[in-house]
A and B are shown apart, each in its own frame.
Chain A
Amino acid sequence: MSTAHGQGAHDTVPDARLEKRLTAEQTQALEARVKSLESLLVTKGLVSPETLDKLAATYESDLGPMNGAKVIARAWVDPAYKQRLLTNATAAMAELGFSGLQGEHMVVVENTPTIHNIVVCTLCSCYPWPVLGLPPIWYKSAPYRSRVVLDPRGVLREFGLVLDESVELRVWDSSAEIRYLVLPERPSGTEHRSEEELAALVTRDAMIGVARVPIQG
């Protein structure tokens, strides 16, 4: 059985009604169509194949949640940095070398015992690329985009996070050119961890706000 992406290995998705399943023939047709488009754009002098490769490779290897994790770990160990991050996230991230496309204007929102934040883009797929890389499919999908503004607690339960009724929930819809990152709570049991060890605990989902960083110990 073919899957959303023509590869049998990812055939584990449960009951998403809109899961995109392409047949092998459809995938082949898309490959051909894209190859043809690339050839046209190369002939017209708009792009070069080497630059396309370099660009895609950058997002495959250099940009991803490991960058955001470094920002979070620094904020956990350095109160002055955390303060700068919460007041001017763009500049604070640039201190660690993270800036640029789809992260030109950053805002960091802090989770506390009484406030939980969760990020979405209901209109398309806006996401802070320099610190999280490219978004996972679920973030760009209709089920998440549509429901998280209306029933965020239900969405969190789907992700396995049951939020106490007393916690205030804030949903951030990235409808303009500002990108949001959640500063998760530092879990207990990490008092003696180094900054580097802490960064290894921080997950992409915690920085979107659909998970917590698990308690250690």
Chain B
Amino acid sequence: MNGIHDMGGMTCFGSIAREEQEPIFHTPWERRVFAMTLLALGNMANLDEFRHGVERMDPVHYLSSSYYEHWLAALETLAVEKGILTHEELTTGAAQPARGGTIPPLPPEAIPTVLQHGASTQRQTGRTTPRFTPDDRVVARNLNPAGHTRLPRYVRGKQGVIDRVHGTFVYPDTNAHGGGEDPQPVYCVRFEARELWGSATPARDSVYIDLWEDYLESAEERRRHTE
């Protein structure tokens, strides 16, 4: 979706505020939201659904709230959508009896292993043969999906060059919407700054961005379509 989170290239937000000696968490509630999101999410949703949960926030609230409020909003949204909690439970704070049996929550001693193991979304299945190779000229498709995507607006329709092939990864656009993983190649694509932002930008500067295969078409193919 063309949401407020897709802010690459905007210039209206003022200077960058930095904090010396910044704590990891500023308040106890931030600390709990961070940990709850990581732990509860594994039981209810995938990362793409979570990101889309943040993106669906009211844009005014997105801009006017702090970072962990974004996480809190997405966590509550997903807990309800996934049938873990009801609106009533969230509002009243009183839990209704659980319907099914629950699996025991992760014990503290499991944390180091879980973090070390991570949660890779690379796959050996799906489209494992990349269509493009390094130095191929590609164009980012002009897609404007209503749902989740990791194709930012600022590269759509722009031409770049394949820098490297990262491997086959779960496709966010389907995975965020119950449409399956549809694993496909991810490429690092180099866009010249001038292609993205015009001739006033320094000639040598560039932006490298990771894009799924379905976001790309060959520059040659694009040219044939437009001629």
Q: Which of B8, B66, B72, B93 contacts A122 (CB 8 A)?
A: B8
For the complex formed, measure the closest distance between the CB of A162 and the CB atoms of chain B, giving whole angstroms.
Answer: 14
Q: Give the CA-CA distance A52 to B207 in the complex, in Å.
A: 38
Name which of B12-20, B129-137, B218-226 contacts chain A. Answer: B12-20
Q: Which of B90, B167, B196 contacts A149 (CB 8 A)?
A: B196
Residue from the set B29, B84, B119 with the largest chain A CB neighbour count within 10 Å: B29
The verdict on A147 contacting B11 (CB below 8 Å), with A10-B26, A122-B6 known, is yes
Q: Which of A12, A102, A175 contacts B210 (CB 8 A)?
A: A175
Q: Determine whether A217 belongs to the interface, using a CB cutoff of 8 Å to chain B.
A: no
Residue from the set B84, B186, B210 with the largest chain A CB neighbour count within 10 Å: B210
For the complex formed, measure the closest distance between the CB of B82 and the CB atoms of chain A, giving whole angstroms.
Answer: 11
The verdict on A56 contacting B26 (CB below 8 Å), with A104-B119, A171-B206 known, is no
Q: 1/0 contact trace for B41-78 toward A, CB 8 Å? A: 00110000001001000000001111101001001100
Contact assessment for B29 and A104 in the assembled complex, using a CB-CB cutoff below 8 Å: no
Contact assessment for A169 and B13 in the assembled complex, using a CB-CB cutoff below 8 Å: no
The verdict on A178 contacting B166 (CB below 8 Å), with A44-B84, A56-B32, A158-B15 known, is yes
CB neighbours of B11 from chain A (8 A): 146-147, 150-151
Q: Determine whether A37 belongs to the interface, using a CB cutoff of 8 Å to chain B.
A: yes
> Residue of A at shortest CB range from B210?
A176
Contact assessment for A99 and B116 in the assembled complex, using a CB-CB cutoff below 8 Å: yes
Q: 1/0 contact trace for A25-51 toward B, CB 8 Å? A: 001001101111111111111111011
The verdict on A137 contacting B22 (CB below 8 Å), with A122-B6, A125-B67 known, is yes
Q: Determine whether A200 belongs to the interface, using a CB cutoff of 8 Å to chain B.
A: no
Q: Which of A41, A51, A133, A176 contacts B107 (CB 8 A)?
A: A51
Q: Determine whether A123 belongs to the interface, using a CB cutoff of 8 Å to chain B.
A: yes
Contact assessment for B188 and A178 in the assembled complex, using a CB-CB cutoff below 8 Å: yes
CB neighbours of B93 from chain A (8 A): 36, 39-40
Q: Determine whether B9 belongs to the interface, using a CB cutoff of 8 Å to chain A.
A: yes
Q: Give the CA-CA distance A146 to B29 in the complex, in Å.
A: 27
CB neighbours of A187 from chain B (8 A): none
Q: Give the CA-CA distance A194 to B110 in the complex, in Å.
A: 36
Q: Give the CA-CA distance A64 to B213 in the complex, in Å.
A: 33
Q: Determine whether B95 belongs to the interface, using a CB cutoff of 8 Å to chain A.
A: yes
Contact assessment for A170 and B40 in the assembled complex, using a CB-CB cutoff below 8 Å: no
Q: Determine whether A192 belongs to the interface, using a CB cutoff of 8 Å to chain B.
A: no
The verdict on A14 contacting B15 (CB below 8 Å), with A31-B27, A56-B25 known, is yes
Q: List 11 A-B contacts (CB under 8 A).
A: A31-B28, A40-B93, A41-B36, A45-B103, A47-B35, A55-B38, A100-B115, A101-B38, A173-B209, A174-B210, A176-B169
Further contacts, 12 of them, CB under 8 A, given A4-B66, A178-B210: A16-B16, A17-B14, A22-B66, A101-B114, A107-B188, A122-B7, A123-B6, A147-B16, A159-B16, A168-B204, A171-B206, A171-B208
